[in-house]
């Protein structure tokens, strides 16, 4: 669904997706992914007077208003696209967050690559996750993307997603409580991720929540 056709609601969860124009590579090196990943954390907050940069990132985050635009639950950064699950906190929060995030990255990428023009295919696509079951199943779809795309053969070796936060309790900026609170422990969630048979059965039901 286009980002322009529906007003997004506060305290609701959305699967957000975008891909490179002409499906081109948008993360050419590890430093590109790290910049985008750190910018996700940085731009969650509203009323931030600074543009993101590596040099002042830590100081800027510490001095940013506590008010948030969005809360990030899940992310996965792939070579030519990315997935997020966001909870909107403030009015128009997701649209503002995505605008700041992608515009910042496009400026960085174009300057680095000495290019002009858009980098992403569209502003972004989204789908509302109507209940906790949809939220959990889409989180699995997202976390499995590196495996399904043959980027890795073991999800534990892929560092550019929130998977490690969920299954290894690694430090990070995602709120894992909403999903993990439905399980007795993180191992149960990991088992759910790895249940390929159940995953295949659920794909048909998830067509409106995922974007191929």
The neighbour count for residue 115, using CB atoms within 10 Å, is 10
More confident residue, 7 or 168: 168
The mean pLDDT of 171-179, rounded to a whole number, is: 96
Q: Print burial letters for 160-175: b (CB count within 10 Å at least 16), e (below 16).
A: bbbbbbbbeeeebbbb
Cβ–Cβ under 8 Å, residues 160 and 37: yes
pLDDT on residue 163:
97
Q: What pLDDT, in 10s, does the model give residues 113-160?
A: 999 999 999 889 999 999 999 999 999 999 999 999 999 999 999 999
Residue 3 is given by DSSP the state T
Q: What is the pTM of this model?
A: 0.88
Q: Which domains does the chain have, with CATH numbers?
A: 13-206 (3.30.70.1290)
The answer to which of 73-82, 96-105, 142-151, 199-208 has the lowest mean pLDDT is 199-208
Predicted confidence band at 57 (pLDDT cuts at 50, 70, 90)? low
DSSP conformation letters of 53-107: -TTTHHHHHHTS-S-BSEEEEEEEE-SSEEEEEEEE-STTHHHHHHHHHHHHHHH
Longest CA span, the chain: 50
How much is the CA Rg of the chain, to the nearest whole Å?
Answer: 17
Nearest-10 crossing angle of helices 132-143, 186-194: 70
pLDDT computed for residue 7 by the predictor = 83
Vertex 34, ends 9 and 180: CA angle to 5°?
50
C-beta neighbour count of 176 within 10 angstroms? 19
Report DSSP state, residue 155: G
Structure tokens at 97: 């967050």
76's tokens: 């996965």
């Amino acid at each position: 669904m286009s980002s322009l056709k529906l007003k997004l609601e506060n305290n609701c969860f959305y699967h957000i997706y975008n891909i490179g124009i002409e499906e081109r590579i948008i993360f050419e090196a590890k430093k590109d992914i790290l910049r985008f990943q750190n910018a996700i954390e940085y731009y969650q907050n509203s009323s931030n007077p600074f543009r993101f940069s590596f040099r002042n990132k830590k100081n800027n985050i510490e001095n940013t208003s506590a008010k948030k635009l969005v809360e990030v639950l899940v992310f996965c950064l792939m070579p030519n696209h990315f997935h997020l699950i966001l909870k909107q906190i403030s009015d128009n929060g997701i649209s503002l967050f995505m605008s700041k995030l992608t515009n910042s990255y496009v400026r960085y990428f174009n300057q680095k690559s000495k290019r002009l023009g858009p980098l992403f295919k569209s502003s972004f696509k989204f789908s509302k996750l109507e209940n906790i079951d949809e939220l959990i199943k889409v989180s699995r779809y997202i976390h499995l993307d590196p495996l399904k795309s043959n980027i890795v053969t073991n999800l534990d070796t892929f560092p550019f997603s929130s998977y490690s936060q969920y299954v290894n309790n690694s430090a990070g900026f995602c709120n894992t409580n909403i999903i993990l609170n439905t399980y007795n422990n993180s191992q149960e969630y990991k088992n759910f991720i790895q249940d390929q048979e159940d995953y295949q059965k659920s794909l048909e039901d998830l067509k409106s929540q995922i974007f191929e």
